[in-house]
Amino acid sequence: MTLVLRNVRPWGGDAADVTLDGGVITAVGPATPEGAAPGSAPVGSLSPDAAVVEGRGRILLPSFSDVHVHLDSTRLGLPFRPHTGAPGVWNMMLNDRQNWRGAEASVAERATMTLGAMIERGTTRVRSYAQVDVDAGLERFEGVLAAREAHRDRADVAVIAFPQAGLLREAGSAEVLEEALRLGADVVGGIDPCALERDPVRHLDIVFGLAEKYSLPVDMHLHEPGQLGLFSAQLIMERTKALGMQGLVTISHGYGLADLPAGQLQELIDEMGALDVSMATIAPAGAPLPLQQLAAAGVRVGLGQDGQRDYWSPYGNADMLDRTWQLAFTSKFRADELIEHCVAVATIGGSSVIDPAAQRLASVADRPGLAVGDPAELVLVEGDTVTAAVMDRLPGRTVIHRGRVVADALQLV
């Protein structure tokens, strides 16, 4: 079915009519007045069954891509609970382990609710973790699969089999991870090969070995500080090069990398660009990722919401526009171009992390995703400009997946 978005402003520019058909953008032309007959639109002759969405001058953006979210741990929609975790990845994991089965709803119910809320706020591309370990077995993984199935016509969801407790500290961990891969996980996860596992060679042997065996990409959580984080990142890139996995490896978080001396940081970024190793950030407090340097080196960068109001953290609200504001704020950006770049990272940047063959950001000034032939993964947002939309984060959004409206704050779909 043909869908026409009438009187919209692509990336906040001039008003236009945008035609969608077959899951892609098929035409972009000058806007026609609201209330005009669809056949009078200058974007071309429309079929009698063409549907029209009145844009009302809203900004048209590529839909958001959340590339780092833990749908298996979310408590959005449930009663608020005090934070009980102790500092440190292992301690936080143990706190989660002690509490997650006592939630007021199942993993599948919580993940399905949160994914639905994310879609309603403009996210149609998701890469979610699903914890697999000797405590949870495959229960959390299956819960995320259930959420994906529930929203299969509203968003594309890739699932990472994630060994949150590591692979070496508890017997049987690697076997649970591999079982998730046999059952259809899309990505092999890994975590802190030095700080948590204390044996980076064995950990990376397992992770990259499974990735090679099942022909899957790798996503490595890296919380490690400074020089330790650098050492792990270098080992990850050595594996990437040795196995010919360019474009198939993502470093998530990379908290300590921004604290590196300037020369080491630039050398690392250049190597990441050369090996096409991508990064996923959640816009944390502290030293921000050097987004401008990463863009200049051609490193794919995406944004995610991490855990949302779960046993790790009380933060998160299913709104990637809100997390985009956080990315701009923690990056200390004020110029419109840089704030808009954060939007580009949260949309097209994330899409290219999920799919290395997808369109990529060419520079900080690049604003792709809304031309003829681009995927019809779109969101309409209120705002005078793109920067204003980030600052205000208003309701009134219309969300389009594969050329079809899947959420509309102005009417029930």
pLDDT average, residue stretch 60-75: 98
Report yes or no: 290 and 269 within 8 Å, Cβ to Cβ: yes
Q: Which residues are registered as beta bridge partners of 404?
A: 401
As a whole number of angstroms, the distance between CA 68 and CA 253 comes to 9
Model pLDDT for residues 355-406, shown as the tens digit of each residue: 999 999 999 999 999 999 999 999 999 999 999 999 999 999 999 999 999 9
Sequence-separated (6 or more) residues with CB below 8 Å from residue 352: 278, 300, 302, 358, 359, 360, 361
Report yes or no: 118 and 401 within 8 Å, Cβ to Cβ: no
Model pLDDT for residues 157-177, shown as the tens digit of each residue: 999 999 999 999 999 999 999
Report yes or no: 175 and 181 within 8 Å, Cβ to Cβ: no
Model pLDDT for residues 71-128, shown as the tens digit of each residue: 999 999 999 999 999 999 999 999 999 999 999 999 999 999 999 999 999 999 999 9
What confidence score (pLDDT) does residue 36 get?
A: 65
pTM: 0.95
As a whole number of angstroms, the distance between CA 94 and CA 167 comes to 15
Region of residue 335 (left: phi > 0; alpha: psi -120 to 50; beta: else): beta
pLDDT average, residue stretch 242-246: 97
* Amino acid occupying residue 353: V
As a whole number of angstroms, the distance between CA 145 and CA 139 comes to 10
Helical axes 336-344 vs 320-330, angle rounded to 10°: 130
Sequence-separated (6 or more) residues with CB below 8 Å from residue 235: 193, 200, 201, 204
As a whole number of angstroms, the distance between CA 269 and CA 271 comes to 5
Provide the pLDDT confidence category of residue 413 given band limits of 50, 70 and 90.
very low
As a whole number of angstroms, the distance between CA 114 and CA 203 comes to 31
Provide the pLDDT confidence category of residue 1 given band limits of 50, 70 and 90.
confident
As a whole number of angstroms, the distance between CA 285 and CA 283 comes to 7
Output the DSSP codes for 25-91. Answer: EEEEEE---TTS-GGG-TT-PPPTT-EEEE-TTPEEEEPEEEEEE-TTT--TTSPP----PPSSHHH
What confidence score (pLDDT) does residue 270 get?
A: 98
How is residue 128 annotated by DSSP? E
As a whole number of angstroms, the distance between CA 18 and CA 182 comes to 42
Q: Which residues are registered as beta bridge partners of 127?
A: 158
* Amino acid occupying residue 206: I
Tokens of 145: 């699969």
Model pLDDT for residues 136-148, shown as the tens digit of each residue: 999 999 999 999 9
Residue 246 has pLDDT above 50, yes or no: yes
What confidence score (pLDDT) does residue 410 get?
A: 74
As a whole number of angstroms, the distance between CA 409 and CA 357 comes to 32
Three-class secondary structure assignment of 142-184: HHHHHHHHHCCCCCEEEEEEECCCCCCCCCCHHHHHHHHHHCC
Model pLDDT for residues 15-38, shown as the tens digit of each residue: 999 999 999 999 999 998 666 654
Provide the pLDDT confidence category of residue 287 given band limits of 50, 70 and 90.
confident
As a whole number of angstroms, the distance between CA 374 and CA 387 comes to 23
Report yes or no: 411 and 351 within 8 Å, Cβ to Cβ: no
Residue 299 has pLDDT above 70, yes or no: yes
Q: What percent of the chain has pLDDT over 70?
A: 95
What confidence score (pLDDT) does residue 128 get?
A: 98
As a whole number of angstroms, the distance between CA 321 and CA 326 comes to 9
pLDDT average, residue stretch 313-328: 97
Q: Distances from the Cα of 112 to the Cαs of 80, 148, 164, 181, 340, in angstroms?
A: 18, 7, 21, 21, 30
As a whole number of angstroms, the distance between CA 282 and CA 304 comes to 5
Provide the pLDDT confidence category of residue 151 given band limits of 50, 70 and 90.
very high
Tokens of 23: 């899951």
> Tokens 């009145």 appear where?
54
Angle at the Cα of 324 from the Cα atoms of 321 and 329, rounded to 5 degrees: 135
Model pLDDT for residues 189-200, shown as the tens digit of each residue: 999 999 999 999
What confidence score (pLDDT) does residue 7 get?
A: 97
Residue 262 has pLDDT above 80, yes or no: yes
Element (H, E) at 11: none
> Tokens 């950990």 appear where?
203
pLDDT average, residue stretch 232-260: 96
Q: Distances from the Cα of 88 to the Cαs of 18, 85, 192, in angstroms?
A: 49, 9, 12
Provide the pLDDT confidence category of residue 50 given band limits of 50, 70 and 90.
confident
As a whole number of angstroms, the distance between CA 155 and CA 160 comes to 16
What confidence score (pLDDT) does residue 25 get?
A: 98
Mean pLDDT score across all residues of the chain: 95
Residue 42 has pLDDT above 50, yes or no: no
